[in-house]
Every structure is written in structure tokens, then in C-alpha cells.
Structure 1
Amino acid sequence: MSHQKKIALIDDHRLVRAGIKGLIDSLDGYHVACEGESGGDAVELARSGQPDAIVMDVSMPGLCGLKAVKKIREQNKQLPVLMLSMYDSPEFVINALRNGADGYILKDAAEHELKLALDYACQKKPFLSPGVAKHLIDLAVRSLSEVSPSEQLTGRQKEVLAGIAEGLSTRDIAEKLGVSIKTVESHRSQMMHRLGLSNSTELVRFAVSTHLAT
């Protein structure tokens, strides 16, 4: 029989915990070695129980899972911690990952997903339930679309753009910034590509509209 990894299972609902324990025990390579019902239990088991990984509910009375994983990380950077939750809110997920969780899986996940999540967590690779990952991707796309075009440019690119808006030649801009003509041309090309513009006239209009031109 292959070595089985010892799992510490933390959930404040006894029946839910029993169900999850049965699932974990049925997976090849894992068994629940100890249990708890609070974030405080998780922190204590991480310190003294010597589990190979912790599977912990996010929302619990007292010390919640999000705060517990942060405390665990203060004493143990390497112990795999997989968060279980019924909540797929990006805020919960981001906070869990920020506090040091290795993965985030929903409680309605299929058996094979739980196995995959444990495998990933024990290899210290991040794992997110597909539904959770979709919400995070949607949030990232929305955030990127809210970034103003000028914020997509580097400081040096803005300096080149300001020179273009002033009507300076490529040579003049290069001399003013103390760079080569080739560098200015490269910045010009990168800006037009990044901003979706096709010529210098559109670059000038963009500079004026964003108040980069004085």
C-alpha cells in the first residue's frame, strides 16, 4: 500500500465534516488523521498534529478559516492548506490566497476535483475550482478594461508622447531625452500597438485628449 498523506479536516458542521471525511478517506493516497471545528483547532493541529495537509472551511465562528490560514503561515510556510467553501465570491478567494492558502475548492465539487485539489496543494501548486477560476478571470478582465489608456504607458513612453504632441521631430525628442533615435522610434511603435493607433496624428490627438500635451 502506498504511503497515505495525513489530512487535518476542519469544519464546524459535524455532518458536513463526516461527509467530507468519507470522501477524502475514499481517495487513493489520503486519509483524515485528525479533525477540528474551528480556526483555532486548525492552528493548533498545524503546530502539534503534524498533518501532511490541512483541508479547512472558510467560514467558521470565532477564528475563521481566512484568519486561521494567515496564523498558520506565520509558523509554517510549507504546510499545504486547501480551503473549502460554499462561497465562490472573488473577495473570499483573493483573501484566502493572499493569506497563504494553496487552493480554494467549492463544497459541491466532484470527487475527482477534490483529489486533484489535494494533489496540487500537496505539491504546493495553486488550485482553484473551475467555477471560482471563472469568477476571478471575469474580475481580472473587468479590472483591465477599467484601466485608462494612458496608464498602460511607461513613464518614458509618456515623455516620447509629450514630445510628439509638442511637434518635435524624432531627432529632437531623442536629443531632449538623451536617447537614440532608434529608441524613440521603438517607443513610438510600442505605443501605437498598445493603444491601437495607426499613425502619429492619432498619437497627437491621444496626447491632447489625455492632457499630456501642454
Structure 2
Amino acid sequence: MSAIRLLLADDQLLVRAGIRALVQTLPDCLVVAECADGQDALTRARELLPDVALLDIDMPGLSGIDTMRQIREFAPEMKILVLSGIDRREVVEAALAAGCNGYLLKDFVLAELQLALGTVLQGGNYLSPKIQQQLIEQIRSGHDDALADQALTPRQEQILRLVASGRTTKEIARDLDISPKTVEFHRAQLMERLGVRDVAGMTRYAMQHGLVS
């Protein structure tokens, strides 16, 4: 049996090292690439076509959600497993809509990682038990988060807060250590997703939904 080839993308070096150490204890698993941002993950995924891409959500530059959307354009059969510390419903829903096969919270143990990998490789979908329970409770209660319809990524929400606080594109780029072009890209996506045409509209939305005071 050939080894299962994995791509690992997370902007935190220690997190990548810890996940890689766990993966290396699993039989027939091989990490073929490690990436610190979404753009590099996208490039390596296109070059290597791994069996599974393990992606963080909140990465500099291209977010995990935007990365998986683009991966799906050239590799619809590649398995994508999110490894994230974020358990908010709107983020999970955005990841699922973007095409991930599983969503695993970073407090997982080795047995759960092995189960998640086995499930997605066999064509199934995997959600961490905590996420499953939260979704069940929210559906039963009829609760719907204010941002659920827009399904903002953590990076988009972060940029929306900064824009609504009056920060310029250059200031946001400097604060988040990303390029001004990346900020403009996220702003354009936010306007389209929120149905607004300018900064004033973004600011009104942020204030109406309690993102800024």
C-alpha cells in the first residue's frame, strides 16, 4: 500500500511541528509539504497534488477558506481536512461550503486525527464532536448567528472591524503584516458578501452587528 501523502498548512511553526509529529506516528502517512500561509499551500497543492490537505483557517494572506475554494477548482477529488482552534458556527459553515471534507478542532488527540483521516479518505465527512453538538443545539433552539448568512472568515471579520474603526488600507496592511493588495481584495469580497458599496456601508453593518462600538 502506498503512503498517504499529506500537505500541512498552519502559520504557527510550533503547531505545524506538533501536528507533523503526530502524523508521523500514523502508519502509511507522509507529510510531503509544510506551508506557513495559504498562498504557499495553494501553490504546493497544485504542484504535488497530495491525497489530503490539512489546512488552518486563519492564515496570513490567503485564508484557509479561500485556499480550499481555489484547490477545489483544480483538484475536486483532493481531501481537505481543516485543523482549527475556531469553533464558531459561521466559520464551520463557510469551510463546509468551500468544500472541506472534515473540520477538526486543534485540541484533538491522535486517535481522533486517525479517525478523521480515515473517514475523509473513505469518502465520508468528519466533524469534531464539540462542533456536532453545537450545531445540534443551535438547530434545536432555532438560534442563528448574526453573521451566519454572510459566513465571514476570521480574517474578513478582523478587516471589517479595522475598516469600521477608521483604519486606512496601509495601516491595516501594516497591522496584519499583509500587503495592501490583500487588504483591498478582502475589502472587495466583504462589500460583495455584505451587499454594500463603500466603507460607510461596511461601517454601518459592523455597528449594527456589534462588531464595533
> So what's the TM-score if we normalise by structure 1?
0.64
Identify the residue that residue 101 of structure 2 maps to in structure 1.
102
Structure 1 spans left out of the alignment, 5+ residues:
146-214
Q: Structure 1 CA distance, aligned partners of 2:143 and 2:41?
A: 37
Query: Following TM superposition, by how much is the alpha carbon of 1:143 offset from its aligned partner in structure 2, in angstroms?
Result: 2.5
Matched position secondary structure for 1:58: coil
Give the 3 Å change call, closer, same or farther, for CA 131–144 of structure 1 in structure 2.
closer
Cα separation, 1, equivalents of 2:106 and 2:121: 19
Identity over aligned pairs, percent? 38
Give secondary structure in 2 for the equivalent of 1:34.
strand
User: 1:54-94 CA deviation, whole Å, 9 max, x = no partner?
Assistant: 00101111101011111111111110000010011111111
CA–CA separation in structure 2 for the residues paired with 1:128 and 1:29: 23
Deviations along 1:117-152, one digit per CA (max 9) or x if unpaired, are: 11112223110010111111112212389xxxxxxx
Structure 2 counterpart of 1:112: 111
Cα distance in 1 for partners of 2:62, 2:53 equals 15
Does 2:135 match 1:136?
Answer: yes
Where does 1:1-214 land on structure 2 (aligned, <5 Å)?
2-143=1-142
**Structure 1 CA distance, aligned partners of 2:123 and 2:68?**
15
Secondary structure at 2:76 match in 1 = coil
- Asked if 1 retains the 8 angstrom alpha-carbon contact of 2:82 and 2:103, the reply is yes
Find the structure with the greater CA-based Rg. Answer: 1
Partner of 1:197: none
Q: 3-state DSSP class of the match of 1:137?
A: helix
* Structure 2 unaligned regions, length at least 5: 145-213
Q: Which residue of 2 aligns with 1:212?
A: none
Cα distance in 2 between the residues matched to 1:17 and 1:30: 15
Residue type of the alignment partner of 2:6:
I
* Residue pair 2:49, 2:78 contacting (<8 A) in 1 also: no
CA offset digits 1:8-40 (Å, max 9, x no partner): 000111111001000011112212111111111
1:86-128 deviation per Cα after TM superposition (whole angstroms, max 9, x unaligned) = 0111111111001000000011111100001111122231100
Length, aligned pairs only: 144
Q: Is the 8 A contact 2:7 2:32 kept in 1?
A: yes
**SS at 1:18 equivalent:** helix
Contact 2:81 2:101 (C-alpha < 8 Å) held by counterparts: yes
CA distance in 1, matches of 2:131, 2:55: 17
Helix, strand or coil for the counterpart of 1:77? Answer: coil
The code of the aligned residue for 1:127 comes to Y
Q: Counterparts of 1:5 and 1:83 in 2: how far apart (Å)?
A: 17
Give me the whole-angstrom Cα distance separating, in 2, the residues matched to 1:123 and 1:135.
25
Give me the whole-angstrom Cα distance separating, in 2, the residues matched to 1:84 and 1:54. Answer: 10
SS in 1 for 2:11: coil
Structure of greater relative contact order (alpha carbons < 8 Å, 6+ residues apart): 2
Aligned residue number for residue 163 of structure 1: none
Cα distance in 1 for partners of 2:72, 2:17 equals 26
Determine the C-alpha separation between the residues in 1 that align with 2:40 and 2:131: 26
TM-score (norm 2): 0.65
Which letter does structure 2 place at the counterpart of 1:37? Answer: A
Equivalent position of 1:175 in the other structure: none
